[in-house]
Amino acid sequence: MLFPFVRRKKTAPAPAQNAAPSRAQALEFIPVINSSIDVEHRDKGSCRLHYELALKPWFVRAHERLRKAPFPPQKKTLELDEIGSLVWSLIDGRHSVGAIAKTLGETYELEAREAELSTSTFLRELGRRGLIALLPPQDPSHREPK
């Protein structure tokens, strides 16, 4: 310590307000599809998702200032295999992440933990790209199908 006679006042750590949900809570979230996604169903159960790339606002403004023209929308395509297409078809605003993982596990004979991990990783990637959003489980307008 540089100055041993100067001490910082000890304070209790602030409680985490945006703490990550537990595994059980995360499996109760309900994924919903972004309405601007175009889906193209292909043969053998695969499908393609066409979506507009979200760019940083400062980048778009800089381009428009330098080019003196509006920035053209950038389109991306994501091709899903049979498993990804199955998960995509189950994202209907009613099935929770846990229910989707359970269906995936039953269909492809996976262990429950493996199905949950695969499903959550896939949904996280879709969310990162802006293709889906996760609704909290408290929302009473969305119910798990029986």
Highest mean pLDDT among 56-65, 122-131, 134-143: 122-131
Residue 125, token pair as written in the block: 């990637």
Q: What is the pLDDT of residues 87-110, one digit of tens each?
A: 999 999 999 999 999 999 999 999
Q: Pairing between strand 132-135 and 38-41? A: unpaired
Rg (CA), the chain: 22
**Range name among 35-39, 77-81, 114-118, 136-140 with the lowest pLDDT average:** 136-140
Tens-digit pLDDT profile for residues 7-32 = 666 676 666 667 778 888 889 999 99
Question: What is the band of 146 on the pLDDT scale with cuts at 50, 70, 90?
Answer: very low
Highest mean pLDDT (candidates 35-49, 69-83, 118-132): 118-132
pLDDT at 2: 60
What pLDDT sits at residue 21? 81
pLDDT of res. 63: 81
Alpha carbons 61 and 128: distance in angstroms, whole number? 23
Contact indicator for 49, 125 with CB cutoff of 8 Å: no
